[in-house]
Structure 1
């Protein structure tokens, strides 16, 4: 986070510096290197007559990105950018560097909306090396791009997709997505994902992003975050402080979509998932509705003869009120590690008579004997559905193995009103007492070999 803040301050300083240089004449302007440029885009801008300055902005992010080089910052002025045509915004062809990323962000604290409701993408129009398909924003084989402070909504196929393509050497590496709101996607496709990550990709970070109310045409496949980088070499991908709610399928889905491959490890920390499997109006959709799905691979009958899944690390995450499981291995064949996570009041699937329709659901559901490690986790309600962990997995210092059992008194609060509300001014998670352990709780472990809950 410090690195991002420093980059933002540097970008603003560079922007101010440009105005000073412009007033000192041609010699000063010629001294300004390409990697110190700031560009501006506004809903009232002009891609033809504008020059990308704050006084004469361009109209589209696509235009600004085509001009940007390592170290440049693209500021989007406040307002709604209504996208039209067959494809959304497609960023490909050039990248930043680790020392000089290309930054795309809102100007100051202005509200920027990228709206895909006017796109004419055909149903199931995927992104490609040449276009964004049915996604509002697509990044293909680009690295060291920072995207921050945008509202991305109403994509026919999805909100944001980062695609590393078919080569690790090209791929998509070292990108950062911060303080994004991604919602309402999927109105003309079978996917509807809020944020997707596919292909060869390393070291990509999502921090403090929200993905919600995404629903595909069939109401069964729209996840908040679908993270499935290609192969074990795609390391270092992480999500921190992200939230996913009321997506028609899962909140965080780490299903390995790449047949006959070994999955890439993903790290999730301080992420929250609630009411997934329910729609924006509160009704139950047709998807699964897991909070955190940590595995899964297609069946051999569908072309997957050897592909595996799992191998992820999940720490200090929370899942509540989801239709199915809070956390599940989802048949992952490689051991996942789940530490200091909390699940509450999941297993909400109901049939037409209002009775539980899936009796095998749990707060923590790890029945696959893959050596999963669950340590220092807490589960509360529904009674008897706190956890199912195969004997071959490690089940240590978790609440369901402790005595006395968990009760409402174990927590400071069981009201999620603050947790589901606005983030802090800096975009970090809300400060909340929800599901925080009460002082003196027996779940607070400090002994040798134990992990504090």
Structure 2
């Protein structure tokens, strides 16, 4: 290994590119593929004709740069691979640089954890601290139980992971949960019908949770989860929400579309992060559409977002005075431009200077918003099937009519 590293260093110097790039090229050139199947066996060699059964076995054989292909069908046979005082971890990801992906987009694999009974909290997938560059692509997770626990999670990311076109649905657990120093991204992912069944869990079951060192969410959807669609309470790092939709959060928990900021009873970090919320849509939620959530400072820059019929207010800019003073105040530091709302209170808890809150539908001169400005107000369109390569569905909901005086506002 020492000789190989020295050789790669000489190559990188000669080619004028980074050692990391050369290492990536080298590992790609020698990458291997392994396969798992619901009908596989961990005593098999892991080939496409003789696949493994479990991700754990495939990970044991794989190395950085390798790909584990997940053959279609429903996976129901699981073992607990790691436990601690609070959790039973089913798939414990301990190696960096491995891709776990569906073999075919025409036969999407489903991991059904309904037979894994929760004597503790369950994490269906744990990405351990220090693990990086792990990719998950095109499969579904369902059936994760919570029992009498406060919460369980489909994906618990404490390292670094990219999740692309992954769907978490009909669980008693959080869908995607980045925590501690977890980082990464969710791209074209859906999280829906994840509902805590008890008083203890109903308010702890979100679609997406960004509570780590910074996560990017792009073209993701959350709907009908029992707590919030997207939640970044207690986050240490800045999160980005780009072209994401949150709607129909009405199953009994906090029920916000985007809960951006806040630290509850915990201590904020020395540098409070400022998040980015752009080109997002929040509709028909029982609480707030876009919520600054008691952030001790600016919660976010909010631009080109659309909100409809959120019962506690479409935008709520509630802040607290500072890191050391937890008294709540109407927001004074948020940046809010080019947003569009209809139905319900446009903005509340806002004491923003005019330069921070301009060119929005509620404060742009001469603007009056009515139902006739929109091609459709049918929220049901938002849960339509995705298009090719996981693209968001083509809809008319909150799209402006031709020649609308609202052009240039909102996410469409």
Give the TM-score normalised by structure 2.
Answer: 0.81
Distance 1:179 1:247, change over 3 A: same
Distance 1:33 1:442 in 2: 52
Distance 1:340 1:45 in 2: 48
Distance 2:51 2:268 in 1: 53
Residue in 1 aligned with 2:218? 240
2:169 aligns with one of 159, 183, 186: 183
1:209 aligns with one of 184, 189, 193: 189
Distance 1:440 1:88, change over 3 A: same
Residue in 2 aligned with 1:27? none
Deviation at 1:255, TM superposition (A): 0.6
2:256 aligns with one of 271, 290, 314: 290
Q: Hey, which of these two has a bigger chunk of strand by percent?
A: 2
Distance 1:309 1:82, change over 3 A: farther
Distance 1:305 1:432, change over 3 A: closer
**Mapped contact 2:54–2:78 kept (Cα < 8 A):** no
Deviations 1:325-354 (A, max 9, x none): 11010111231100000000110xxxxxxx
The answer to whether structure 1 residue 36 and structure 2 residue 31 are counterparts is yes
Residue in 2 aligned with 1:99? none
Distance 2:45 2:182 in 1: 34
Map 1:193-208 to 2 at 5 A. 193-202=174-183, 204-208=184-188
Distance 1:68 1:440, change over 3 A: same
1:66 aligns with one of 60, 64, 67: 60
Deviations 1:176-233 (A, max 9, x none): 10111101222xxxxx21110012134x11000000111122222211011111xxxx
**Mapped contact 1:161–1:195 kept (Cα < 8 A):** yes
Q: Secondary structure at the match of 1:264?
A: coil
Residue in 2 aligned with 1:391? 351
Deviation at 1:422, TM superposition (A): 0.2
Q: Secondary structure at the match of 1:239?
A: strand
Residue in 2 aligned with 1:115? 112
Residue in 2 aligned with 1:378? 340
Residue in 2 aligned with 1:29? none
**Mapped contact 2:28–2:65 kept (Cα < 8 A):** no
Residue in 2 aligned with 1:354? none
Residue in 1 aligned with 2:19? none
Distance 2:410 2:223 in 1: 28
Distance 1:308 1:375, change over 3 A: same
Q: Secondary structure at the match of 1:220?
A: helix
Deviation at 1:363, TM superposition (A): 0.6
Map 1:46-195 to 2 at 5 A. 46-48=41-43, 50-86=44-80, 87-96=88-97, 102-109=98-105, 110-123=107-120, 125=121, 134-141=122-129, 142-157=131-146, 158-164=152-158, 172-173=159-160, 175-186=161-172, 192-195=173-176
Distance 1:241 1:306 in 2: 29
Give the TM-score normalised by structure 1.
Answer: 0.74
The answer to whether structure 1 residue 342 and structure 2 residue 306 are counterparts is yes
Distance 1:307 1:155, change over 3 A: farther
Distance 1:370 1:91, change over 3 A: farther
1:45 aligns with one of 33, 40, 44: 40
Map 1:304-323 to 2 at 5 A. 304=267, 311-323=274-286
Deviation at 1:65, TM superposition (A): 1.1
Deviation at 1:34, TM superposition (A): 8.6
- Please list every run of at least 4 consecutive aligned residues from structure 1 whose deviation after the TM superposition is greater than 6 angstroms: 305-308, 450-453
Deviation at 1:425, TM superposition (A): 2.3
Distance 1:272 1:452 in 2: 10
**Mapped contact 1:310–1:329 kept (Cα < 8 A):** no
1:266 aligns with one of 207, 230, 239: 239
Distance 1:452 1:430 in 2: 14
**Mapped contact 2:284–2:379 kept (Cα < 8 A):** no
**Mapped contact 1:115–1:136 kept (Cα < 8 A):** no
Deviation at 1:36, TM superposition (A): 1.9
Deviation at 1:266, TM superposition (A): 0.3
Distance 1:291 1:392, change over 3 A: same
1:413 aligns with one of 352, 367, 376: 376
Deviation at 1:68, TM superposition (A): 1.0
Distance 1:220 1:66, change over 3 A: same
**Mapped contact 2:65–2:99 kept (Cα < 8 A):** yes
Distance 1:71 1:308, change over 3 A: closer
